[in-house]
Amino acid sequence: MLEERLRVTPREQPFHVVLVEPEIPPNTGNIARLCAATRSALHLVGQLGFRIDAHAVRRAGLDYWHLVDLHTHTTLDDALGSIAPARAEAPRRWLLSAHGARSYLDVAFAPGDVFVFGKESVGLPPELLAREPERTIGIPTLGAVRSHNLANAVAIVLYEALRQTGQLSGAALSAR
């Protein structure tokens, strides 16, 4: 029996998700699945808090890992430099932080934008945020929690960007 799933015809690689020194394997696994589902590239930067070799991925049961457009980089500058040549103009980057004074809902996203997230324990370095306040955005919260879970934060921003750029329109059920 064929299962039907809600699908959108893919247009282009919509976005780049950059994780700087992610620490928690399940968060990165969830984000990798999200990137595979949205055809967004995933860039892992710096020291990871876990292994992503074939054995570790197989052991974790990540049966979708081969669908992820995965890139690893030593530094954030390396990651951003690797993304830029793929476009005629430099991609816009957005630094996501619980300390952002501007909401992600107040930004007009464009295909190819780069979303940079910091490590779960401390976020992005304060000096980076201080250098680029106009690129720093956050997700408003209603409660007293410090911030959103990293995987949830990526999903919130990525799906808003997909919605804004019309990449979710035309969804229809298709056999899988």
Tell how strand 93-96 and strand 114-117 pair up: parallel
Q: Which of the two residues, 143 and 16, has the higher pLDDT score?
A: 16
Q: Select from 115, 109, 114 the least CA-distant residue to 168.
A: 109
Minimum mean pLDDT range among 16-30, 44-58, 83-97? 44-58
Domain span including residue 139: 4-175
Q: Select from 78, 81, 12 the least CA-distant residue to 40.
A: 12
Q: Select from 140, 142, 94 the least CA-distant residue to 118.
A: 94
How far apart CA 111 and CA 15 sit, in angstroms, is 6
DSSP structural state of residue 31? H
pLDDT surpasses 70 at 73: yes
Structural domain total, the chain: 1
pLDDT surpasses 90 at 145: no
Q: Residue 80's pLDDT band (boundaries 50, 70, 90)?
A: very high
What predicted TM-score, i.e. pTM, was given to this entire model? 0.88
CATH number at residue 111: 3.40.1280.10
